[in-house]
Amino acid sequence: MTLSVVIVGGLHSDARRATVEQLLADVPGSVVLHHDLATAAAGTVVRTIRDATGVLSTGEAPLVNDCACCALREDLVPELLRLAGDATTRLAIVELWDSVEPKAMAEVVVVGGLTVTGVITAVDPALLLPYLGNGDDLADAGLAAAATDQRTVADTFARQLEYAPVLALVDSPEADDEDRELLAQLHPTARRVPVPGGHLGDSAGAPARADASGARSDLASAALAGFDVETAAAAQHPACALLPAEADAHGVSTLVWHRRRPFHPERLYAALEDLTCAAARSRGRFWLADKPDTLLHWDAAGGALCVESAGPWLASLPDAAWELVPPVRRAAAALDWHPEHGDCCQHLVFTSPGLDRDGLERLLESCLLTDAEYAAGRDAWKRLPPAFDTLLEV
């Protein structure tokens, strides 16, 4: 029997543990593999393997290049392969440590020759906005996975949330309609599965036992439904990401802003702080007049913005190079092709409670080239001041 692997992650540790306990209760023959990176400062990563009855084994993985995540990668696949050799183990639940992101681990497991059947991020809806708004460095929160880890709480949580096709939602009494609506707008395509409890120590947090009839629970079904790492990676790539759609409900709005005209680099740069702070979460792709061939990625959460090059627009590539581009990228470009600019566009999405949609649109529009600047043509655009060179480390 082939071992199924489900990855359960998320910064909401109580929600994550409740999800893991529920899977143990729902799936006979399941075990949990967890690497505790909190001990990394002492030079080791502690590995624990347990089932529904208790701990089966513990061990230590030495640090690799002072990187706890690297130690996890080196140790994870051999342990899973060992579990795969045990005919009694049906499902391996990889419970990620707080700040470990599921994308990297799912890809490591697949490269190791194992089958990932599900990726789940556990969420307490009441904590959604506080975490998305937390611009603190992981290191300051004691959650860094390496000495060089420069991620923030907000951007890490956003990636954990948006990568997983399944969100396990604990029944949080503090959550309200706004929290649930924010979650729905941030990741509208996710399968949302309720999990009882989530506050360890409460009697309500005890996992419900599997149905006596043998029927598979929603959570177990999600864990075993199947997962494709290439499709998941494509869904996160700025060139073809499946971004949220327009929405407005329960005080939460999503603004989808799509334009063809390029940004003026200086005016956009001057507006970055206001644009970054305008929403709890914003992301997408954009282009600058002075860099018309470069696809730029916009990724903002917690009041911090990351802008980076995601390579060339397809419109800037020779025809022969298109064969080297993944089909999903070519398909996304074809659906959004413009006769003059090809796939070059502004496609930014802002999601937040209390979003000032009109003010945000006015600010974005003011950053585009004016009619006269646009009419001057690409040669003139390229001579505009390169305001983003420092940010892009050009």
What residue spans define the domains of the chain? Answer: 4-236, 247-392
Q: Is the pLDDT of residue 284 over 50?
A: yes
Q: Is the dihedral of CA 159, 160, 164, 168 positive or negative?
A: negative
**Mean pLDDT score, 222-242:** 90
Per-residue pLDDT band for 251 (boundaries 50, 70, 90) equals very high
Per-residue pLDDT band for 200 (boundaries 50, 70, 90) equals very low
Residue 394: its pLDDT value, please?
62
Tokens standing for residue 302: 């917690």
* CB contact at 8 A, 30 and 207: no
Residue 1: its pLDDT value, please?
57
Q: pTM above 0.85?
A: yes
Domains 4-236 and 247-392 share a fold: no
Residue 196: its pLDDT value, please?
83
What is the pLDDT of the chain when averaged over all its residues? 91
**Mean pLDDT score, 345-350:** 96
Q: Which helix (H) or strand (E) holds 263?
A: none
Higher pLDDT, 200 or 61: 61
Q: What is the pLDDT of residues 204-213, one digit of tens each?
A: 444 555 444 4
Give the DSSP letter of residue 242: -
Amino acid at the residue 61: A
Residue 202: its pLDDT value, please?
42
Measured between alpha carbons, how far is 120 from 111 in angstroms, rounded to an integer?
A: 19
Amino acid at the residue 252: V
Q: What is the pLDDT of residues 87-133, one digit of tens each?
A: 889 999 999 999 999 999 999 999 999 999 999 999 999 999 999 99
Strands lying side by side in the sheet with 44-51: 54-62, 44-51, 30-36, 91-95, 4-9, 115-123, 166-170, 191-195
Q: What is the pLDDT of residues 166-183, one digit of tens each?
A: 999 999 899 999 999 999
Residue with tokens 């990563």: 45
Residue 198: its pLDDT value, please?
53
Higher pLDDT, 173 or 65: 173
Residue 303: its pLDDT value, please?
93
**Mean pLDDT score, 251-259:** 97
Residue with tokens 């307490």: 124
Q: What is the pLDDT of residues 304-343, one digit of tens each?
A: 999 999 999 999 999 888 888 888 888 888 888 999 999 9
Indicate the CATH number for domain 247-392: 3.30.1220.10
Q: What is the pLDDT of residues 266-282, one digit of tens each?
A: 999 999 999 999 999 99
Q: Give one DSSP letter per residue of 73-94, joined into a string.
A: HHHHHHHHHHHHT-TT--EEEE
- CATH C-level class of 4-236: alpha beta
**Mean pLDDT score, 334-361:** 94
Q: Is the dihedral of CA 97, 103, 104, 110 positive or negative?
A: positive
Higher pLDDT, 117 or 145: 117
Residue with tokens 């390496």: 146
162 burial via Cβ count (<10 Å: 0-12, 13-18, 19+): buried
